[in-house]
Amino acid sequence: MRSLPDKSLAPKALSVWKISAVIESVFLFLIPLAYWGTMQIWELPLWILYALIAFAAVIAVLDIFIIQTLKWNRWKYKVYENEVELMRGVFIVERVIIPMIRVQHVDTRQGPILRHYKLASVTISTAATVHEIPGLQMEVADELRDQIAQLAREADPDE
């Protein structure tokens, strides 16, 4: 049986994910706000507003402080000569093996929050889909991109 991948994401990736979860939580609080707005037009029960606020707060706290930490702890990857293995998930753990012969191109990506923390994501494109290794230090992401691209070239029988 194959051992689990052992390469972890950068510790700062957890901060980035928590910031993203805070931003998503702001949108979650639009639901109680919309209910409050309809209360101004129609007579609706006040307890539902409190329940919606409590629900949004519980979901936000769970997502920001627990789910993101579990997700970051679970995220692992490893590059082998003939394939890349990814492992991710919180409640359902997904392990993906990407054969080098299927890799079409490899990119690095940065959004504004990743750029602020000097992190990048590596995207691995195949004919079927795009796989992402999020939250790597810039130097690690650049080296990983180049390593996977080189191994993919070597695995291609047409070249």
1 is a domain residue: no
For residue 117, is it within any domain?
yes
- 132 in the same domain as 118: yes
How far, in Å, CA of 58 to CA of 107, rounded? 37
Domain match, 97 and 137 both: yes
Domain membership of residue 4 (yes or no) is no
Is residue 95 located within the same domain as residue 147? yes
Residue 5 falls inside a structural domain? no
- Tell me the pTM: 0.87
**How many domains are there within the chain?**
2
Last residue of a domain, one of 31, 48, 71: 71
Using alpha carbons, select from 86, 71, 67, 81 the residue that is nearest to residue 132. Answer: 86
Is 145 in the same domain as 92? Answer: yes
Give the per-residue pLDDT at 158. 65
pLDDT reading at 157 higher than 70? no
Range of the structural domain that residue 67 is part of: 11-71
Helix (H, G, I), strand (E, B) or coil at 125: strand
pLDDT single digits (tens) 49-108: 999 999 999 999 999 999 999 999 999 999 999 999 999 999 999 999 999 999 999 999
